[in-house]
């Protein structure tokens, strides 16, 4: 069974293992994950398959801002192309919307075909680039999506 839920403090080791499997540069440290798990302006969503952590997404909020930011998304290699990434993004959008946000933004490496394709397919618009954004000097594409307005 597949679920998406907020991460628990006990997920720390599995989140770190996922991070180290999925990223070569710009990895979040154990300390960063510990902080994200308790930070009031962060939400860590995890997807589990039969209770095993298969993917994670970090959503950041800023006080007095209607823009939420997807800070990280990763799915373990053996579970990719099953829609987990898309489901995590949809859950993040729903959470951002219920938290009063009007827009979601994120940055993706320009050479990350899978991730750029995922966000384009989910209705995000590329609205700029940030050069030298990553540790190795790579450029980021900036994506955003307006969330449905409910008032
Ligand atoms: C990006 C990522 C989270 C997507 O997770 P996922 O669970 O595989 O996503 P989904 O199954 O919802 O969608 C995958 C889709 O991406 C697209 N895709 C995958 N690899 C691709 C590639 N090399 N080129 C173009 N599109 C690609 C396809 O459209 C694919 O759908 P399909 O397999 O049905 O054709 C995952 O690839 C990942 O963890 N990558 C490593 C970490 C990372 O790069 N994170 C993003 C940082 S911004």
Token pair of 96 as six digits: 């951002």
Ligand 1: centre distance to CA 56 (Å): 13
Q: Which atom from ligand 1 is nearest to the alpha carbon of 107?
A: 48
Token pair of 14 as six digits: 């599995």
Of the two residues 84 and 25, the one the predictor is more confident about is 84
Token pair of 101 as six digits: 């946000």
List, for residues 60-70, the tens digit of each pLDDT value.
999 999 999 99
Q: Is the CB of 18 under 6 A from ligand 1?
A: no
List, for residues 2-18, the tens digit of each pLDDT value.
999 999 999 999 999 99
Average the pLDDT over 73-96 and give the result. Answer: 97
pLDDT at 149: 78
CA separation for the pair 109, 50 (Å, rounded)? 31
Average the pLDDT over 46-51 and give the result. Answer: 96
List, for residues 22-46, the tens digit of each pLDDT value.
999 899 999 999 999 999 999 999 9
Helices (H) and strands (E) in the chain, counts: 4, 7
Question: What letters, b where the CB count within 10 A reaches 16 and e where it falls short, cover 96-131?
Answer: bbeeebeebbbbbbbeeeebbebbeeeebeeeeeee
CA separation for the pair 106, 57 (Å, rounded)? 12
Domain boundaries, given as residue ranges, for the chain: 2-146
The yes or no reply on domain 2-146 and CATH 3.40.50.1970 is no
């Amino acid at each position: 069974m597949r679920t998406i839920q907020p991460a628990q403090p006990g997920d720390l080791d599995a989140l770190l293992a996922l991070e180290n499997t999925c990223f070569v540069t710009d990895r979040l440290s154990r300390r960063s994950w510990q902080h994200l798990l308790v930070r009031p302006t962060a939400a860590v969503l995890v997807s589990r398959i039969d209770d095993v952590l298969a993917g994670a997404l970090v959503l950041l909020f800023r006080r007095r801002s209607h823009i939420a930011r997807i800070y990280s998304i990763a799915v373990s290699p053996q579970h990719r192309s099953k829609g987990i990434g898309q489901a995590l993004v949809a859950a993040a959008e729903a959470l951002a919307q219920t938290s009063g946000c009007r827009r979601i933004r994120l940055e993706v490496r320009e050479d990350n075909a899978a991730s750029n394709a995922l966000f384009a397919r989910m209705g995000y618009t590329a609205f700029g680039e940030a050069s030298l954004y990553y540790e190795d000097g790579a450029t980021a594409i900036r994506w955003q999506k307006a969330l449905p307005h409910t008032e």
